[in-house]
Chain A
């Protein structure tokens, strides 16, 4: 009983930092509609800045002063990011901004590495609260009790600010219709900046306040990000009480999980989230997200037409050129282009679902990695030949997509995105923790192609045929009745349902189809590398695909593979340098600002402006 109670207290104490970070994310999303992927980075910065300040400032006042100052400094860094990176892209289509925040993650990671080094930092203990208290004979750190006491005050202050003050009313009004708030005489730019400051300061505060418990390291950003997403989704986007309750549930669950079911800790959190969303698709205290409610629509998508003869000839010529690489180029080029081709198919499969179907998935790696693991497991345990494994990979991934899609499609918008992320993480934790079968962190190795395809050259041609074929298949599907019905469901589900289209089912089929195509890419990937590790299922993998689709241009047919090819090639080049993340991050931010319609979209615009391409509507 005593132990149980002590663990409950630990859980409550851990909930403090989680709540602060989550409420910050929720606030920022509510007003700016930006899913701030970089929120974990601000949390990490809070820890590092707090650590440095605590070295300088002495005593009790110094400690708490450092915590507060860390919050303020991180808030100010957030303001700089908002003004320099986000302001230029507010008018871009919804969700495009998250690409910019992904760039910010990379930049902050490398800057932190530059300033504080790669070593993990051990957090100083809070002066005056270094001891433990015995509660029911169990030791409970005094600092934990302090955290339990402080968090409700922070929560109450935030709640008061949002519900009772004029600023709070303006923030809530802007959450719904920011243009109108501007037309009523409120300077919304500063309202945005203010909210960003508050949100980031809360993240920084969370990072600094947990120093005595967890210290600071370079993996903090991604590690907390998933928990924070889960908390925000369980609680309901934009709900402070929801965020608090969810933070407590998740933290307590984690503590108990560690002691009673150590193998399940990572899975547990996602299971809870899935269960909650099954019954309450918009979280415990959330309300339904109505698409287009926020007056942010961007330019309408163009009608699509199958490529004309000229383009087809060009594509054929390009494929022939690609086919010449093994003959002309180096072995290195062959391997690199193989990688790029596989990644392009992966990205194109996400593009199909995201671009045509409007289904924003944050967890598409589940099917890429899923396909890879299906192939690898069959080869390892059933000695399946490559040819069969390459067929089983998409089948397995497609099946997973059928199941996952069934659950995820109960929600829409951001909730849908978060659910897909949760499932990808669930799969990742399964693979990671089920080491006996999957090899855990050590992965599965020695998975090589059949003898006939074992040379790099032959495997290259195999990849070229499958990937190019897959991309063309996806493209054809976009022009078929199925692709049209999928777009119809995205453009107006109201009208689609009123003309006999079962929109959920269409989206479900598309989800499974895209999953299977990602599985094809995953299967090829295993055989090209000879091994597979859990990181193929990671959040970062999913984000890669997502970023690439946006960079390429969501509202275009070819954005997926164009973005994929450019991104992989650039990344391959940059990783030779020590601070490649910094460079890549800055590059991503630059593309986002300079080409808000993605590479393909912006090139098309440029072509039309210079008269090389003509826009059908202009001729009228």
Chain B
């Protein structure tokens, strides 16, 4: 399969500290790739460089073969990359559907228009997107009163508004209850499968990662120390030492795998 995202020798230093050190990997079409690692390993720095929030010290990021390093987040978005945030970022003064409409208005380059009523624009498409993530029944609710899990789903709908080729999700299930986590990742996996989107995500919940990722990469002290299938990573002694620990917390995942 063809490479959607190609990362070559990506590095970023803060002063003397190398937060990300010579990271290279490829994300293939239709793949659900997890990036895991301890706190401070450089996951967020890595993500911020892919999204354009942070300029790399060196290295290149390519989207479908086209170099996107150095572009602003909004330019990268226009190239067909959707993202969700670790801490949800939604427009709290708007309704649920207006959040999605805003993305559609921007996608159709109508943000400087002063004539039409915004809340009537692209309403049907917005509702469709909300339906995809199961939020259609809450379309007219005020965004500020939503439950956290619903905000996460809304963010996903927003990220899908411009039919992205690539989804970047930074800890998509942080702060959610276990069942919600599995459901959200199941939803993401379905979207990846049905719409031909590729997805890169970071995550701390190993249940989620082991259940859904097609492939896993492990980052430690800025360097990629391992990459491979779920089983390879789970049984990798180096990964266990720096990240997974003694397994006190994975009984559930084990049981699920056994069942």
Spell out A's residues near B (CB within 8 Å): 300-306, 476-477, 479-485, 487-488, 490-492, 494-495, 497-502, 506, 509, 616-617, 620
Chain A-chain B contacts (Cβ-Cβ < 8 Å), number: 118
A sample of 7 inter-chain contacts (CB < 8 A) reads A481-B114, A481-B118, A482-B112, A484-B102, A498-B83, A499-B162, A617-B142
Known: A499-B74, A501-B74, A502-B74. A481 touches B93 (CB 8 A): no
Known: A300-B93, A495-B90, A501-B111. A484 touches B105 (CB 8 A): yes
Known: A494-B89, A500-B107. A484 touches B94 (CB 8 A): yes
A497: chain B residues within 8 A (beta carbon): 72-74
A480: chain B residues within 8 A (beta carbon): 113-118
8 residue pairs, one from A and one from B, having the closest CB atoms = A300-B144, A301-B93, A495-B89, A491-B91, A485-B111, A484-B118, A492-B89, A500-B106
B119: chain A residues within 8 A (beta carbon): 305-306, 479
Contact B98 A303 (CB under 8 A): yes
Known: A482-B113, A485-B105, A485-B106. A498 touches B77 (CB 8 A): yes
Task: Name the residue in A483, A495, A499, A617 with the highest tally of chain B Cβ atoms < 10 Å from its Cβ.
Answer: A499
Task: Name the residue in B83, B95, B114, B119 with the highest tally of chain A Cβ atoms < 10 Å from its Cβ.
Answer: B114
Segment 141-179 of B: residues with Cβ below 8 Å from A: 141-145, 158, 161-162
B162: chain A residues within 8 A (beta carbon): 499-500
Alpha-carbon gap, A3 to B181, bound state (A): 75
Contact B94 A491 (CB under 8 A): yes
Spell out B's residues near A (CB within 8 Å): 51, 72-74, 77-78, 83, 85, 89-95, 98, 101-103, 105-107, 110-119, 121, 140-145, 158, 161-162
Main secondary structure, interface of A, reads: helix
- Distance between B104 CB and nearest chain A CB, rounded to angstroms: 9
B121: chain A residues within 8 A (beta carbon): 481
A509: chain B residues within 8 A (beta carbon): 112
A300: chain B residues within 8 A (beta carbon): 92-93, 142, 144
Contact B93 A482 (CB under 8 A): no
Task: Name the residue in A477, A484, A490, A502 with the highest tally of chain B Cβ atoms < 10 Å from its Cβ.
Answer: A484
Residue of A whose beta carbon sits closest to that of B107:
A500
A481: chain B residues within 8 A (beta carbon): 105, 110-114, 116, 118, 121
- Distance between A516 CB and nearest chain B CB, rounded to angstroms: 13
Known: A300-B92, A491-B93, A497-B73. A482 touches B111 (CB 8 A): yes
B141: chain A residues within 8 A (beta carbon): 617, 620
- Distance between A267 CB and nearest chain B CB, rounded to angstroms: 35
Alpha-carbon gap, A305 to B142, bound state (A): 12
B89: chain A residues within 8 A (beta carbon): 492, 494-495, 498
Known: A499-B103, A500-B74, A620-B141. A479 touches B91 (CB 8 A): no
Contact B105 A491 (CB under 8 A): no
Alpha-carbon gap, A479 to B144, bound state (A): 19
B105: chain A residues within 8 A (beta carbon): 481, 484-485
